[in-house]
Amino acid sequence: MKNMGDGRRVARVEKEIQATIAQFLIRGFKTPLPGLVTVASVRMPADLRAAKVYISVLGSDEQKEEAIELLQDRAFEIQNYIGKELKMRYCPKLTFFADHATDQVLKVERILHELAEERKASGTSEDEDTDGDADSDEN
């Protein structure tokens, strides 16, 4: 069985592909993308022939879908740019996906902030209750 590669090499190539795509979006992408688009991550198998590109879009759901569609339609141009910038035996075939991890992180942070606000609002009454309970237990 053939050794399919080193995990460190795959991680390094993923990082380079991510940076190159981001560079293309800044410099070479002619069509303006809706919302604020970020290349969140890139995942590749050990053979480095395909790449799942996860895109984070700050904006509405419609803007997210539109940005993903635009990028997928222009994937060939991005692949050509990667082929010119990076010296690789094979240029990976790109597939774009929405990054939901960022949305989940923001949702968790919002929930934690709401809980902190609730604790702060009810914190003064709880402190008084615990002090009162402690005094009554001692008597």
127 vs 124 pLDDT, higher one: 124
Q: Kindly report whether the global pTM for this prediction surpasses the value 0.85.
A: no
Of 15, 11, 12, 17, whose CA–CA distance to 82 is shortest? Answer: 17
48 vs 4 pLDDT, higher one: 48
As a whole number of Å, the CA-based R_g of the chain is 24
Residues 6+ apart with CB under 8 A from 21: 39, 42, 53, 78, 82, 94
Phi then psi for residue 38, to 5 deg, are: -130, 140
Residue 131 confidence (pLDDT) above 90: no
Tokens 């799942």 — which residue? Answer: 52
Least confident range from 17-31, 85-99, 110-124, 125-139: namely 125-139
